[in-house]
Amino acid sequence: MWQVVEKISQRDKRSAVILTTHSMEEAEALSTKLGIMVRGGVFRCMGSSQHIKNKFGIGYEVEIKVNKASYNELIEMARNLNLSGDLQDKVNLTKAISACEADYDPLMLEQIREDGLGADLVLEASMDPERREVRQRNLLEWLNAQDSGFKIINWMCANFEKVELLEQCGEFFKLRVPKEDKTIGWLFGQLEHNKRSLGIQEYSVSQTTLEQIF
């Protein structure tokens, strides 16, 4: 269908196609110019995608992938927590959480619940109701990812009034922060400067889409 639309819009350079959508991503992919209408028909603005974002954008979305712990790092973590050191061994989840309390943020450990970021660990433990055990590797990899994630969130909180966690899966975090008086270039520069200390493997920054603005 989109190929047909494209052909019509380019026919003899005398045709134009007007599309309506609620998706900024779709509009950016299909259009050279965008117009925004609000309140049932009020024409708010028109221009390129970047022009509109620069003028009306209110924040940034930051996608970050943190470094995955190496085998040796996992072994060191296991040693610090007085675990067996065999990453395939299992450990009681409740006891493991208690062993982590001295070294990890309590807010992070509180996420090991059915509706928290550690829901997968709780699900694994529920497979054996009597022992409630999880594989050490799974626990240690989760601790490493969340520890890095919490460091990044704390760093963001020190630079922005509000930080919203939109999505988290394994080593991947998606955050939203307000624009305030900071440019996208400033945010890129700060992430690059702190990349190593925050344990960031890769990252991207984009301005908020218009469907989040209007």
**Domain ranges across the chain:** 2-57, 62-212
Concatenated DSSP letters of 30-77: H-SSEEEEETTTEEEEEE-HHHHHHHH--EEEEEEEEPPPPHHHHHHH
Does residue 179 sit in helix, strand or coil?
Answer: coil
**In this prediction, what percent of the chain has a pLDDT beyond 90?**
55
State the pTM of this model.
Answer: 0.70
pLDDT in tens, 38-77: 666 676 677 776 666 666 667 899 999 999 999 999 999 9
